[in-house]
Structure 1
Amino acid sequence: MDATTLYSIGELSRRTGLPVRTIRFYSDAGVVAPTTRSPAGYRLYDLDALHRLELLRTLRELGMDLATIQRVLDRELSVAEVAAAHADATDVQIRVLQLRRSVLRAVARGGAGPEETKLMHRLTQLSGEERRRLIDDFVEGTFGASGTADADPAAAAMVRAATPDLPDDPSGEQVAAWAELAELVGDEDFRARMRRTAGHRAAGRPLDIESEAGEELMEFTRQKVAEAVESGIDPLGDRGARVIDDLVHRFAEVLARTPDTRFRDWMAERFEEAHDPRVDRYWRLVWIVNGWQVVPDLVPVYPWLVQGLRSGRPRTSPRG
């Protein structure tokens, strides 16, 4: 084979593995034009055409469009330039496919309905920048834009420091958590709850009831509730009621109050000031989305206590 060798379409097909009709299409499109024609009018191609066709096939198999390939063959673009751009595009496609896979796994595992499935799919289609903007809008809408009179810089900084960032290849659990987070941050009631509780956490100041009860009782309370949470005790069950009732009587004794239903409601309101269940759920979802290890000491215990306090009248006798 040399530079003077001419090939028919059939010979090109045998050498490249491309169907005759495909080569004819490329020829008619001017991508691989015939060098000449035989006396009978059949198209003939030289060695350069064969090389162009082999490169064309390779680039097509890599997913490049015909217009871009034409520019490469005409040397308007280098193969390296096109490969770099196409690699970037392929990265985007891979991320999209990974997110789709994660959505499907979340749906399969959790039994999500049509609306939940559409929501998860729509949210994962957002770019990383769009997801960050969603959280930025939530922070500004909740704590005020930076520099405004109603801004709470410490609380906003705390929330921004733990911005949820969905990875490129999330698990189904992370996708489901992100979808739940996106719904939370758009809810005005939740924003009000976050405003109320985040200031306490950011400032690191104790609740009034913590100061009034004293460190000894508060340490005892955190220990007992943490043990109940770790043991999976239901705050609404009989075992939970015994823990709650014992704590109510201890607080009533220290604060010189009557351990009745009104006092239980008062305690619940005081503990809810910095530990709202929906806000605590937000932080748990952030941990999941970011793939952070949940530290047991940081798991809020007050929501369990509040739920038990809200359950109604005491169901156990006072401690002796």
Structure 2
Amino acid sequence: MASMSDHELYPIGDAARRSGLSVSAVRFYADAGLIEPTRLNEAGHRMYDIQAIARLELVRTLRELDTDLAEIRRLLDGGTTLHDLLTTHLGIVERQERTLRARRAVLRTLIKQGGTTAQADLMHKLVSMTDEERERTIDDFWTEVGANLDVPDGFVDRLRAMRPVLPADPTAAQLEAWIELADLVSDPAFRGAVRTYLRDTYAAPEARTLATEPFQEFMHGSGAALMEELLAAHRAGESPLSGRVQRTVTLFLEAVTALSGTPLTAEARDRMADGYRQIPGILRQLDEEDAAAGGPGYGDTHGRYLALVAAINGTTGQEHDPIPYVWIADAMQAVQPA
């Protein structure tokens, strides 16, 4: 049985207060034929029942979502459902959100860089690029960087494969990273710096071996899995002489020597161990030489490219731990070849 309040009528002031609207707004919606009063009282004043007030509340909510009166009229007349109307408006709000996020990324980048109007126009174009345009931008970069570069076949193609994929609903941080990356890869100076870094890094014969396809396949495939196993053991505080470490490092040594078609011998083991032991010093020396010469280093060239790609792809923070080269060298030194 319906309660008495279901049949109670309220004057326009009460209807306005209950629905969250002003009296003039309630009067406007009545005159527009959207929500007419339930009846007029003896004095000719507009009176509203609970159902009418509920519809006024709905109209207020839809207007706050920027729904136009024509759409509201179709809903109230039964021409559409509330679910369909809200779904449509959700899509509108989400598109507005993406637009605002892109604008925020542009503004934040401009503020950090002290940008000009021309830069603002450029950044707007960068965040508005289609997927195809972004792909072409990255392809153009690697085509120029890799042109006649003296590195083993397939190496530049592998580098090209590590590319940004901006999601359909990127965060502001991802948009900012894309703005920086797109600006960098279009800069002739940055292209030249990356090219110089790759050329200088892989010029030595021993370094060229690291860029060959078999070695790269190994380091990004089974070699990566073995290295991760070693890193896990190191994180767990295991000795380089533990059974797990010795089994893993033996497989690693056997696989590396097999790449050059040679067996794992004591001499090969010693060379590998000695090489790993020297890596930290070599890396420090390279950093010092780059700083002294003012030349492009990894962090300013290819490293910066990879860091921005990781930020755009949402993989930042998934990098491996720093490699404990000396610990691995100690593990290698203990291996007894068959």
Q: State the TM-score bracket (shorter-chain normalisation).
A: 0.5 to 0.7
Q: Which residue of 1 aligns with 2:97?
A: 94
CA distance in 2, matches of 1:124, 1:136: 12
Q: 1:219 to 1:47 in 2, by over 3 A?
A: closer
2:236 paired with 1:209: no
Q: 1:221 to 1:192 in 2, by over 3 A?
A: same
2:282 paired with 1:287: no
Counting matched residue pairs gives: 244
* Cα displacement (A) at 1:22: 0.8
2:225 paired with 1:226: no
2:233 paired with 1:178: no
Question: How many percent of aligned residue pairs carry the same amino acid?
Answer: 28
Asked whether the equivalents of residues 120 and 176 of structure 1 are also in contact (C-alpha less than 8 Å), the reply is no
CA distance in 2, matches of 1:136, 1:114: 27
Kindly provide the amino acid, as one letter, of the partner of residue 75 in structure 1: G
Q: Which residue of 1 aligns with 2:21?
A: 18
CA distance in 1, matches of 2:76, 2:17: 22
CA distance in 1, matches of 2:207, 2:104: 52
Asked whether the equivalents of residues 210 and 218 of structure 1 are also in contact (C-alpha less than 8 Å), the reply is no
- Gapped runs of 5+ residues in structure 1? 145-151, 201-205, 242-267, 299-320
Q: Write the deviation string for residues 258-308 of structure 1: whole angstroms up to 9, x where unpaired.
A: xxxxxxxxxx9xxx9xx896555433322333342355879xxxxxxxxxx
Matches within 5 A, 1:87-236: 87-106=90-109, 110=112, 112-115=114-117, 118=120, 122=124, 125-126=127-128, 130-141=129-140, 155=156, 158-165=159-166, 168-171=170-173, 174-187=174-187, 207=202, 209-210=204-205, 223-228=280-285, 233=288, 235-236=290-291
Kindly provide the amino acid, as one letter, of the partner of residue 92 in structure 1: R
Q: 1:138 to 1:169 in 2, by over 3 A?
A: closer
* Cα displacement (A) at 1:20: 0.6
TM-score (norm 1): 0.55
* Cα displacement (A) at 1:23: 0.8
- Gapped runs of 5+ residues in structure 2? 144-152, 211-270, 324-338
Asked whether the equivalents of residues 27 and 33 of structure 1 are also in contact (C-alpha less than 8 Å), the reply is yes
Q: 1:211 to 1:46 in 2, by over 3 A?
A: closer
Tell me which moved more, 287-296 or 84-93: 287-296
2:69 paired with 1:66: yes
CA distance in 2, matches of 1:4, 1:214: 88
Q: Which residue of 1 aligns with 2:257?
A: none
* Cα displacement (A) at 1:184: 3.2
Q: 1:78 to 1:197 in 2, by over 3 A?
A: farther
- Tell me how large the CA RMSD over aligned residues is: 4.7
Q: Aligned with 1:165: secondary structure?
A: coil
Q: Write the deviation string for residues 195-217 of structure 1: whole angstroms up to 9, x where unpaired.
A: 9999x9xxxxx945325999979
Q: 1:114 to 1:195 in 2, by over 3 A?
A: closer
Q: Aligned with 2:172: secondary structure?
A: coil
Kindly provide the amino acid, as one letter, of the partner of residue 165 in structure 1: L
* Cα displacement (A) at 1:19: 0.8
CA distance in 1, matches of 2:75, 2:67: 11
Q: Write the deviation string for residues 81-115 of structure 1: whole angstroms up to 9, x where unpaired.
A: 2222223333333344444455555555x353344
Kindly provide the amino acid, as one letter, of the partner of residue 132 in structure 1: D
Kindly provide the amino acid, as one letter, of the partner of residue 307 in structure 2: R
Q: 1:105 to 1:296 in 2, by over 3 A?
A: farther
Q: 1:9 to 1:43 in 2, by over 3 A?
A: same
